[in-house]
Structure 1
């Protein structure tokens, strides 16, 4: 398989407006909140039916501001002071081969338009 197309189901809105303000772990900013704006046709009550029965969601997202795709195998690790390079898969770098990210978030509210 050479490629795979992802179609967005929603837009994540975060309280963080600058990338340097985002903590590397959610536990470092427990008061941080955001929401997901669901896009048609997923902003319908049927699409979220039963979701209120869960406490957390896994969000797969695109690092849309990561810049041009790089074939970087080694990246600077901020947690190591930015002085040491590690393999891209050993870090939380946004410079991943497909710019994909994954986050576990607490689900506080469910409406057809917004999570």
Structure 2
């Protein structure tokens, strides 16, 4: 079998695993860029792509440790991290081959770089393939969703004081609020006094959560 190699790398304001949206499409203001390797950053490789609205990305969980083949079950955050399901019945990032699949919206294509919205990839993620999303074969609106149909994700209300809001441009601030509303904390941690830190757009965003409210309590450059 031919060795697969990255055709591109992803650029995002999220530079660590902490804070990455748990699924693509949850943060519709989060903008990232697909920057191709030199041999693929050519006009003919992307010819016709601007006629599509969405892409499938096949990528690698490059920040994960080696997969343990003996662990065939995982704890989905949607179930509170307390119930185990088979790895192939979930979208856990800890997978035998460390491959991810995401559907993202195309914002624009400029000079061979694809700018997309709503990706659940961290900065520097290797991308192995890009394919157009085709609704008549890729969309199944009546399909069952397993445990996700039974457990609704609870979004948080986000409070960011003006002194911290001004650290970001309007576009960044909107994306940050969307990311934080998804509750980036590990699901087994619910200490209202604990302060968490998350890297976003080159800044360290500190926050705490009490009940269903997340409050930003600091931003460090």
Instruction: Return the TM-score normalized by structure 1.
Output: 0.88
Partner residue, 1:14: 12
SS in 2 for 1:102: strand
SS of 2:59 mapped into structure 1: strand
2:61 to 60, 63, 69: 63
Structure 2 portions without partners, runs of 5+? 115-221
Runs of 4 or more consecutive aligned structure 1 residues displaced over 3 Å after TM superposition: none
Q: 1:40 aligns with which of 38, 43, 49?
A: 38
Matches within 5 A, 1:1-115: 5-71=3-69, 72-115=71-114
Structure with the higher strand share, 1 or 2:
2
Paired position in structure 1 for 2:144? none
How much does 1:44 deviate? 0.9
Larger Rg: 2
CA offsets, 1:18-75, max 9 Å, x none? 3221122334312111010010210011111111111111000000011112212011
- Give the 3 Å change call, closer, same or farther, for CA 9–27 of structure 1 in structure 2: closer
Secondary structure, aligned partner of 1:79: helix
| Distance in 2 separating the partners of 1:51 and 1:18 | 29
Q: Mark the CA change 1:87 to 1:69 in structure 2 (over 3 Å): closer, same or farther.
A: same
What do the CA deviations read for 1:81-104 (whole angstroms, capped 9, x no partner)?
A: 111111001112111110000000
TM norm structure 2: 0.48
Rounded Cα–Cα distance in structure 2 between residues aligned with 1:4 and 1:82? 37
- The runs of 5 or more residues in structure 1 that have no matched partner are none
